[in-house]
Amino acid sequence: MYDDLLFYHAYEDFYRMAATSPAFAAYCRDAFGEDFSQDGFSDLAQIQQVLPHIPQGKPAHILDIGCGNGKMLGYLQKQTGAFIHGFDYSRQAIQTAKHLFPEHSDFQVGLIGEMDYPAASFDVVTSMDILYFAPDMTGLVAQIKRWLKPDGVFFAGYQEGDVIPKTNSWEESQLAKALQANAMVAEYTDITYQTWQLLRKKRQAAETHRELFLAEKQEEWYQLLMTQTECAASDYEFFSKKYSRYLVVTRKNP
C-alpha cells in the first residue's frame, strides 16, 4: 500500500535489521548513549530535554510522530510513567514497538497527513527527524497544535541538508514558517556543531563494531553507516555550509 513512498522499503529493511542485530544495538549505545534504534540524530542528551515537559502527578500522554520501533517512547515511559502513543508507516517497526512496550501504549501503522487523533489528546508531541516527510508541513503543524492539550508542548529535532535543503537561518527554515503560519512561537537551539560531533561519534562507533557487523553478515549496514557519516569526516566549517540542526520547543499557547 505504501510501496511508492519515499524510503518505505529501506525503512522496512532497517527496522528488520534493528530488531535482530546486537551489532547495531551496540553501535547505537556507543554513538547515542542509549539504543533507540536511531536512524536520525537524536542522542540521549537531546531526548532527556523532553522530560521536563512531561507533567508529573497526573497521567500524561505523549505522541511520537514517526516513532520507529518505539524505543525512545519506551525510555520516556520508563522515566515518567506516561501513556505512550506512536505511529509510523513501517509495519516492521510498529510490530516491534507493540511487542516491546505492550503496557499503557498505543502504536499504529499510519501515514503522516492521514493519521488523526481527537483534539487536546496529548501533553507532549515529539517528532525527531520526521517533519520533512510531511507532504504539507504547515498542515501537519496545524494537526499537532489541535492534538495538543491547552498547556501542551511540541518538541522537534529538525535537520536541514539531508532530505530538505539547508536554508540560511532558522527564520528562513520551512519549520519556522510552518509554525508562524499556525501562530505558534518556537524556542529553538541551533545544535549544528553538536551534530557534527555526533556524526563523528557515529562514524567511530560503526568502526568499533565493524567486526561484529561482519560476523552477523550485516556488512551492508556497516557500509551504509560509514557512507552516511562521510560528511562529518570534513572539518566543521565545511560541514556547517551544508547542514543545520535545531532542537525546537513550541508551546501550544505561549
Ligand X SMILES: C[S@@+](CC[C@H](N)C(=O)[O-])C[C@H]1O[C@@H](n2cnc3c(N)ncnc32)[C@H](O)[C@@H]1O
Cβ(123)–Cβ(144) below 8 Å: no
Question: Residues 188 to 247: which contact ligand X by CB under 6 A?
Answer: none
Q: How far apart are CA 222 and CA 248, in angstroms?
A: 31
Minimum gap (Å) between residue 39 Cβ and ligand X:
4
Q: Which stretch binds ligand X (CB under 6 A): 18-26, 52-60, 96-104, 124-132?
A: 124-132
Give the long-range contacts of residues 112-119, CB within 8 A, separation 24 or more.
112/65, 112/66, 112/140, 113/139, 113/140, 115/87, 116/143, 117/63, 117/85, 117/147, 118/147, 119/146, 119/147
Using the rule CB under 6 A, which residue among 76, 125, 130, 184 binds ligand X? Answer: 130
Tell me the closest approach of the beta carbon of residue 137 to ligand X, in angstroms: 12
Q: Which of residues 72-101 bind ligand X (CB under 6 A)?
A: 88-90, 93
Cα distance between the two ends of the chain? 40
Task: Considering the complex, state which of residue 35 and residue 123 has its C-beta at the smaller distance from ligand X.
Answer: 35
Q: Work out whether 160 is an interface residue with ligand X (CB under 6 A).
A: no
Find, among 210, 229, 218, the residue nearest to 40 by Cα: 229
Lay out the site mask for ligand X across 25-44 (x = CB under 6 A, - = otherwise): -------------xxx-x--
* Least distance to ligand X, CB of residue 89, Å: 4
Closer residue to ligand X (CB): 116 or 211? 116
Owner of C-alpha cell 551496540: 26
Using the minimum distance from each CB to ligand X, give the nearer residue, 49 or 253.
49
Is 126 or 240 the residue whose CB approaches ligand X more closely? 126
In angstroms and rounded to an integer, the radius of gyration of the C-alpha atoms of the chain is: 18
User: Of 122-130, 174-182, 191-199, 229-237, which segment contacts ligand X by CB under 6 A?
Assistant: 122-130
Size of interface with ligand X, in residues (CB under 6 A): 18
Between 8 and 170, CB nearer to ligand X? 8
Smallest gap from Cβ 109 to ligand X, in A, equals 9
Contact 40, 67 (CB under 8 A): no
The CA distance from 216 to 246, in Å, is 35
In the bound state with ligand X, the residue whose beta carbon lies nearer, of 152 and 157, is: 157
Nearest to 120 by CA among 104, 144, 84, 96: 144
Residues β-bridged to residue 247: 157, 189
Chain residues in the site for ligand X (CB under 6 A): 5, 11, 38-40, 42, 66, 68, 88-90, 93, 111-112, 128-130, 133
